[in-house]
């Protein structure tokens, strides 16, 4: 079991590192724009929160009663991911979710998708999250979803908010709400 201090250090190094990499890449490429307009920032944050509900509902349904083809995904979530956050406090989960939402979306949407397109950035995002082939597929599909939000709303605010809210709710669910009930499948 990972200690709380190690979890926070790992999150800061990985997710914070991705954010720093994205900001550095944006300065290098010079034509990267993360937020196209501040006129609708509150609307975009709210839209991101609402857009997190669909993937969150799918996530919770997979935790409760997955289709057979998603059983390996469920196993990784309930064993590995849940174990990783077993000692996390609520504030840790908020911080990690915020760093992940910002770092990953600024890099994968704001830089990579802007430069190499949604297909390649989504495949790289999936590889970055590779735990099992099914988890890779889930992350890649999620990346296409977030990439679509980036295109539709013309910036990273909606995908950052959606990613943050999804991670926050999913981790709170795993850490504080989900109770082992044996194999529910």
pLDDT tens string 72-81: 889 889 988 9
Q: Is the pLDDT of residue 184 over 70?
A: no
Q: Is the pLDDT of residue 183 over 50?
A: no
Q: What are 7's two structure tokens?
A: 């979890």
Residues 45-56 pLDDT 10s: 999 999 999 999
Show me where the domains of the chain are located: 40-177
Quick one: angle between helices 41-51 and 53-64, nearest 10? 20
Of the ranges 2-11, 82-91, 115-124, 167-176, which one carries the lowest mean pLDDT score? 2-11
Q: In sequence order, what DSSP letters do the residues of 55-107 get, joined into one string?
A: HHHHHHHHHHS--GGGHHHHHIIIIIIHHHTTT--HHHHHHHHHHHHHHHHII
Cα–Cα dist 162/113, whole Å: 17
pLDDT interval class at 181 (50, 70, 90): low
Classify residue 185 by its DSSP letter.
-
Averaged pLDDT, 8-14 = 89
Cα–Cα dist 86/174, whole Å: 9
């Amino acid at each position: 079991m990972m200690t709380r201090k190690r979890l926070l250090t790992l999150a800061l190094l990985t997710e914070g590192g991705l954010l720093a990499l994205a900001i550095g890449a944006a300065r290098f490429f010079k034509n990267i724009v993360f937020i196209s307009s501040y006129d609708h920032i509150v609307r975009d944050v709210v839209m991101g929160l609402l857009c997190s509900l669909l993937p969150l509902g799918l996530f919770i349904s997979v935790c409760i009663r997955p289709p057979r083809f998603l059983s390996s995904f469920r196993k990784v979530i309930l064993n590995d991911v849940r174990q990783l956050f077993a000692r996390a406090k609520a504030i840790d989960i908020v911080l990690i979710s915020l760093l992940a939402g910002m770092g990953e979306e600024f890099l994968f949407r704001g830089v990579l998708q802007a430069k190499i397109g949604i297909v390649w950035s989504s495949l790289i995002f999936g590889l970055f999250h590779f735990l099992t082939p099914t988890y890779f597929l889930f992350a890649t599909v999620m990346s296409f979803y977030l990439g679509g939000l980036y295109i539709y709303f013309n910036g990273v605010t909606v995908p950052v908010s959606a990613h943050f809210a999804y991670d926050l709710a999913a981790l709170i669910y795993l850490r504080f709400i989900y109770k082992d009930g044996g194999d529910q499948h």
